Homo-oligomer: A and B are copies of this chain.
Amino acid sequence: MTDTARAAATTAATSGSKSEQAYAAVKARIVDGTYSPGYRLVLAKIAEDLGVSVVPVREAIRRLEAEGLVKFERNVGATVSGIDPTEYLYTMQTLSIVEGAATALSAPLIGAADVARARAVNAEMRECLQHFDPVRFTRLNQDFHSVLFEHCPNPHILDLVHRGWNRLASLRSSTFRFVPGRAHESVDEHEALLQLIESGASPDDIEKAARRHRSATLDAYLAQTNAGSLSAH
């Protein structure tokens, strides 16, 4: 179990409900990769691991299903979802839309301090490219975008963004590879986004830019898979 997962589990233990605890614990394990796509989630086993009975575990898993992190089949069981490249496409496309909107809505509320913070993160990302540290790069990437939409005044949209990121996180370390060429472009686009925000560009332009930023990552993935160099190893 990673630190992140352990932290989440601890937090969950603090909150009273065992159902909440199970939910947070399983979610953390999916997001951090302990349970990777296709992993079979056996209710009784998870219940024993967490020291609770199956009922709250079942409830937690149904909730995760509603978020798209888990696939539940009647009388068969639950598996961590997300192997399918088609799902990846759907998720990325949806994320490009809601993330674009979230960023545009946040933009007027982003201050100089936020921009500076984002820039610092982006600088670190550049370093990661030189030292080739994809894991850290991915984490920093999330930090960067968090700065962009954390001020989003509409919690529903923010929630959709988070769900999208969670789904991606569950895929991250398994099926879909880090694409160095795309990563370089990405940090450049980050800087361009920050300048757009600083310059007080229209929400519409910011939305378009943010959307394109993610669409480009999707395109890079599609180009790679079409080229036949699949992530077979």
Q: Which residues of A are in contact with B by a Cβ distance under 8 Å? A: 16-17, 19, 55, 58-59, 62-63, 66-68, 74, 90-91, 93-94, 97-98, 101, 105, 153-157, 160, 232
Task: List the B side residues contacting A59 at CB < 8 Å.
Answer: 58-59, 62
Bound complex: CA A94 to CA B16 (Å):
32
Task: List the B side residues contacting A232 at CB < 8 Å.
Answer: 105, 153-154
Find A93's partner among B55, B93, B157 (CB 8 Å cutoff). Answer: B157
Find A157's partner among B62, B68, B97 (CB 8 Å cutoff). Answer: B97
A67's nearest neighbour on chain B, judged by CB, is: B66
Task: List the B side residues contacting A68 at CB < 8 Å.
Answer: 156
Report whether A90 and B16 are in contact in the complex, using a CB–CB cutoff of 8 Å. Answer: no
Can you give 26 contacting A-B residue pairs, CB < 8 Å? A16-B74, A17-B74, A55-B55, A58-B59, A59-B59, A62-B62, A62-B63, A63-B66, A66-B67, A68-B156, A90-B154, A90-B155, A90-B156, A90-B157, A91-B156, A93-B156, A93-B157, A94-B154, A94-B156, A94-B157, A94-B160, A97-B97, A97-B101, A98-B98, A105-B232, A160-B160
Task: List the B side residues contacting A93 at CB < 8 Å.
Answer: 154, 156-157
Interface of A is mostly: helix
Task: List the B side residues contacting A90 at CB < 8 Å.
Answer: 154-157
Bound complex: CA A153 to CA B231 (Å):
11
Task: List the B side residues contacting A94 at CB < 8 Å.
Answer: 154, 156-157, 160
List 18 extra interface pairs beyond A62-B62, A90-B155, A97-B157, CB under 8 A: A16-B74, A17-B74, A58-B59, A59-B62, A63-B63, A63-B66, A66-B67, A68-B156, A90-B154, A90-B156, A93-B154, A94-B154, A94-B156, A94-B160, A97-B97, A97-B101, A105-B232, A160-B160
Pairs A-B, 9 closest by C-beta atoms: A66-B66, A94-B156, A97-B101, A90-B156, A90-B154, A94-B157, A93-B154, A63-B66, A59-B62
Q: In whole Å, how far is A201's beta carbon from the nearest beta carbon of chain B? A: 17
